[in-house]
Chains A and B, each alone.
Chain A
Amino acid sequence: EIVLTQSPGTLSLSPGESATLSCRASQSVASNYLAWYQQTPGQAPRLLMYSASSRAPGIPDRFSGSGSRTDFTLAISRLEPGDFAVYYCQQYGTSPFSFGQGTRLEIK
């Protein structure tokens, strides 16, 4: 099973700043099948990125994904109040399709 480790656990930033979230896999993610999700309190997760760097429909270009094999990054520029949430990465290249433990982005 591929283990995904996200860092940092918590990121404290102010609106207008930029965020960089990391997701590291214990082995190579097949076909770079890596997704990022955002979850706000009381809500279901929302897909942000798939295939490491493709934005899901309706996701603003302030969100960008990069990386390959075992190291992936989600970057968020010009943070807005609605961006403060928990972010999860997921690999879906090799079953079982595992999630990372999450990074909490909080307002400083």
Chain B
Amino acid sequence: EVRLVESGGGLVQPGRSLRLSCAAFGFTFDDYAMHWVRQVPGKGLEWVSGINWNSGDTVYAASVKGRFTISRDNAKSSLYLEMNSLRVEDTALYYCAKGMAFDSRGSCDTWGRGTLVIVSS
């Protein structure tokens, strides 16, 4: 069974950092791009960042560029999101999603349940 499990969310103060992780199961992780998508509870989806199969290409939303860093460890079948200089507006449920192709230009065919990040003083 293809499955994604996010972790690392929590309550953090503005300006601080947090690292999210996503463990992947049931597929050949290094064959596919991966993405992070976030959603403020009750609101719409916002694509955050994507990374291709070998970490050679990373892309970001304008709202997080320069503050967030996506990375992956294919040996551990894991995806990460390092979030620095957090803002109140970064508060959201963060989903890890599997791309349909090795290139970051792909739709997301499998999603985790999400990990909640709350940025508040």
The answer to whether B105 and A92 have CB atoms under 8 Å apart is: yes
Check if A44 sits within 8 Å of B95, measured CB to CB: yes
Inter-chain contacts of B45 with A (CB < 8 A): 37, 39, 45, 88, 90, 99, 102
Which size class do B's interface residues fall under?
Answer: 20 to 34
Flag whether A47 is at the interface (Cβ < 8 A). Answer: yes
Number of A-B contacts (CB under 8 A): 63
Contact residues, A87-108 vs B (CB, 8 A)? 88, 90, 92-93, 95-102
Among the stretches B24-32, B57-65, B81-89, the one at the interface with A is B57-65
Also in contact, A1 and B100, with CB within 8 A (given A35-B107, A44-B112, A97-B47): no
Name the one of B59, B95, B100, B112 contacting A97, with C-beta atoms under 8 angstroms.
Answer: B59
Contact B44 A96 (CB under 8 A): no
Are B111 and A90 in contact (CB-based, < 8 A)?
no
Residues from chain B with Cβ under 8 Å of A95 in the complex: 50, 59-60, 104-105
**Cβ–Cβ contact A96 & B109, under 8 A:** no
Q: Is A56 an interface residue (CB 8 A)?
A: yes
Contacting residue for B47 out of A39, A93, A96, CB 8 A? A96
For chain A, which range describes its interface: under 10, 10 to 19, 20 to 34, or 35 or more residues? 20 to 34
C-alpha gap A53/B44 in the complex (Å): 23
Does B12 sit at the interface, judged by CB under 8 A? no
Closest partner residue, chain B, to A47 (CB atom): B109
Residue from A46, A57, A95, A97 whose CB has the most chain B CB atoms within 10 Å: A97
Given pairs A35-B107, A102-B45, 9 additional interface contacts (CB within 8 A): A90-B47, A93-B105, A95-B60, A96-B59, A97-B59, A98-B47, A99-B46, A99-B47, A100-B44
Instruction: Give B residues with C-beta under 8 Å from A.
Output: 35, 37, 44-47, 50, 59-62, 95, 100, 104-109, 111-114
